[in-house]
Amino acid sequence: MAETDQAPPPSDQLAAMNLTDTVEKHAFSDRVLIRSVVGRPDGGAGLAGQRVRAGGWVKTGREQGKGTFAFLELNDGSCPANLQVIVDAGLAVLSKLVATGTCVVVDGILKVPPEGTRQKIELRVEKVVSVGEVDPAKYPIPKTKLTLEFLRDHLHLRARTNTIAAIARIRNALAFATHSFFQEHNFLYVHTPILTTSDCEGAGEMFQVTTLISESEKLEKELIKSPPPSEVDIEAARQVVSERGEAVKQLKAAKASKSEITASVAELNKAKENLSKLEERSKLKPGIPKKDGKIDYTQDFFARQAFLTVSGQLQVETYACAVSNVYTFGPTFRAEHSHTSRHLAEFWMVEPEIAFADLQDDMNCAEAYVKYMCNWLLDKCLDDMQFMAKSYDKGCIDRLRMVASIPFVRISYTEAVELLEEAVKGGKKFENEVKWGIDLASEHERYLTEVKFQKPVIVYNYPKGIKAFYMRLNDDLKTVAAMDVLVPKVGELIGGSQREERYEVIRERILEVGLPLEPYEWYLDLRRYGTVKHCGFGLGFERMILFATGIENIRDVIPFPRYPGRADL
């Protein structure tokens, strides 16, 4: 394009902007995407004059000018900001529009509001297309300020609040950032199973999955409807068989015709079949099937005991040991009766696994991934992050910026313990004793990342006694190549390790920790045949959201929280 020294006159610039700045619509709908209006750098002012259709839910509404018109703050979930909508009384019964939660679709023209108002654009309605009314006296969440705890009792409506909607957008952004990061780095997304007959490291209480109870209840109902045959019924059937048998014998002895004999044999077979059916049914017993006093799992759906997964790691390793870099991102489960603000019975984990890579590579990947997510949020969710900063955690944006830009501290477990011991000498009080060999408690982790370094810290090379059997034994024979990523606000965000790839060593470790070999034979096969150096880690997805948003309770950052006593919807 030829460059000129002359800038076009301002009015032309504006005209050009109006022409090129077409309003973005919701996909597969004729509605404007409210974000594409109010989320513009100019607040939407450049769109003045355009006719659009808008739809959303009323955040707040009020009648004005003695009922001659109404202001509605309309939100469609595309961004935290609302579109201000003005409806004249001639177009609708205003009292039916203004209640919080009302759904409206309107056609109108975008206009620049009078000087002095906060908005840069507003929608002057020309037609009210549809209304989904709300009776404010009955609406369970009419007020705008409700506690997060209260909202947990109204899971089906809480996404209509500013906070839960903002968390939903942040959660969505982090999920797509996760896929984008691993795809850009040539990792394959592998769907590891939810139903499993393996137990990852024997740790964590597992939920059992069964059809035995429903099957036995079905059977009980069935047996009430048509009771099993009595001993008398069976004896009678047995009698028929013996009579029919006798009849066949007699016909044969009498050298009866072939057709007569065939017919008689058919009768006998029918009687036999009936008897065996009755005998089969007489064995049916109500209740869960048992064998030798124990539940007979051969009759369960998978012909053995099955559980909900606690981690996809072991399974995803089978793919890493075949197609190199892989990751899994899915739900995992713990049946622990834990009522804390940091535990859920169902939560999402991201678990990459890298072949031909060691603990250093693992730490590099973890750090790059966390930084990528922070940058993604700063880049794509700044408006939502500003809302979180204003409403929940002043420092959350600075924290993202810091983590995105500063190299993570890396210290060995032994160094970490030394630093904690120094702190104790300096007067710092911990509830849990500090000495080499302990599992670092949350208070220790948060001291390191929040007080001592005030940035993310990776602690590596942990005592083997406190870590899982599959972590690679270091040459000192005392520690394993494990690493945890600690971040301010939540403490441990990531746990990972280089995996033990040496067959003899891992076999020994399984026995050492007291696990049976048999269930791990398939896992050992990965070391028996074409073994490869590899590593991986797990990131608790909800913890990442807590870290990003500053929200305190994990139940508020997952759409449908499950915990002891609660699994609503």
Site residues for a copy of itself, window 511-540 (CB under 8 A)? Answer: 522-523, 525-526, 528-533
Per CB under 8 A, the list member of 38, 134, 151, 490 interacting with a copy of itself is 134
Strands 69-75 and 83-88: antiparallel
Residue 189 in the binding site for a copy of itself (CB under 8 A): yes
| The residue to which tokens 């896992």 are assigned | 523
Residue 310 in the binding site for a copy of itself (CB under 8 A): no
Residue 565 in the binding site for a copy of itself (CB under 8 A): yes
| The residue to which tokens 């900063």 are assigned | 389
The CA–CA distances, whole Å, from 419 to 396, 409, 414, 456 equal: 27, 13, 9, 15
The strand pairing partners of 330, in sequence order, are: 349
What values do phi and psi take at 55, rounded to 5? -140, 145
Residue 140 in the binding site for a copy of itself (CB under 8 A): yes
Q: Which of 406, 408, 400 is nearest to 380 (CA)?
A: 400
**DSSP helix/strand/coil, 41:** coil
Residue pair 353/536 in contact by the 8 Å Cβ criterion: yes
The strand pairing partners of 537, in sequence order, are: 496
For a copy of itself, give the closer residue by CB, 376 or 447.
Answer: 376
Which amino acid, 302? F
DSSP code, position 91? G
Strands 326-333 and 188-189: parallel
Per CB under 8 A, the list member of 132, 395, 437, 465 interacting with a copy of itself is 132
Question: Which helix (H) or strand (E) element contains residue 108?
Answer: strand 103-111
Per CB under 8 A, the list member of 73, 122, 362, 393 interacting with a copy of itself is 362
Question: At a CB cut-off of 8 Å and minimum separation 6, what does 238 contact?
Answer: 275
Contacts 24+ apart (CB under 8 A), 271-278: 271/237, 271/240, 271/241, 271/244, 272/241, 274/237, 274/240, 275/234, 275/237, 275/238, 275/240, 275/241, 278/229, 278/233, 278/234, 278/237
Residue 314 in the binding site for a copy of itself (CB under 8 A): yes
**Stretches 65-73, 199-207, 247-255, 259-267: which one binds a copy of itself (CB under 8 A)?**
199-207
Q: What tokens appear for 133 in the block?
A: 């009314």
Spatial distance between the Cα atoms of 189 and 556, rounded to a whole number of angstroms? 27
Q: Which of 186, 209, 187, 184 is nearest to 196 (CA)?
A: 209
Q: What is the distance in angstroms between the CA of the first residue and the CA of the last residue of the chain?
A: 59
**Stretches 60-68, 350-358, 404-412, 465-473: which one binds a copy of itself (CB under 8 A)?**
350-358
Q: How far is the CB of 87 from a copy of itself (least distance, A)?
A: 16
Q: How far is the CB of 237 from a copy of itself (least distance, A)?
A: 29
For a copy of itself, give the closer residue by CB, 206 or 506.
Answer: 206
Q: How far is the CB of 27 from a copy of itself (least distance, A)?
A: 3
**Stretches 6-14, 225-233, 276-284, 360-368: which one binds a copy of itself (CB under 8 A)?**
360-368
Residues binding a copy of itself: number (CB under 8 A): 118
Question: Which helix (H) or strand (E) element contains residue 291?
Answer: strand 290-291
* Residues in 412-451 at the binding interface with a copy of itself, rule: CB under 8 A: none
**Stretches 119-127, 144-152, 271-279, 313-321: which one binds a copy of itself (CB under 8 A)?**
313-321
Residue 407 in the binding site for a copy of itself (CB under 8 A): no
Q: Pattern of binders to a copy of itself over 485-514, x per CB under 8 A? A: ----------------x-------------
* Residues in 33-72 at the binding interface with a copy of itself, rule: CB under 8 A: 33, 35, 55-58
User: Could you give the strand order of the β-sheet that contains 479-487, starting from the edge strand earlier in sequence?
Assistant: 188-189, 326-333, 346-355, 534-540, 491-499, 479-487, 457-463, 409-412
For a copy of itself, give the closer residue by CB, 55 or 229.
Answer: 55
Q: How far is the CB of 43 from a copy of itself (least distance, A)?
A: 20
Residue 306 in the binding site for a copy of itself (CB under 8 A): yes
Residue 383 in the binding site for a copy of itself (CB under 8 A): no
**Stretches 29-37, 250-258, 371-379, 435-443: which one binds a copy of itself (CB under 8 A)?**
29-37
Question: Which helix (H) or strand (E) element contains residue 83?
Answer: strand 83-88
Per CB under 8 A, the list member of 37, 52, 72, 105 interacting with a copy of itself is 105
* Residues in 156-185 at the binding interface with a copy of itself, rule: CB under 8 A: 156-157, 159-160, 165, 168-169, 171-172, 175-176, 179, 183, 185
Q: How far is the CB of 373 from a copy of itself (least distance, A)?
A: 15
Residue 560 in the binding site for a copy of itself (CB under 8 A): yes
Strands 457-463 and 479-487: antiparallel
Q: How far is the CB of 25 from a copy of itself (least distance, A)?
A: 9
For a copy of itself, give the closer residue by CB, 496 or 550.
Answer: 496
* Residues in 213-272 at the binding interface with a copy of itself, rule: CB under 8 A: 213-214
Residue 361 in the binding site for a copy of itself (CB under 8 A): yes
Residue 107 in the binding site for a copy of itself (CB under 8 A): no
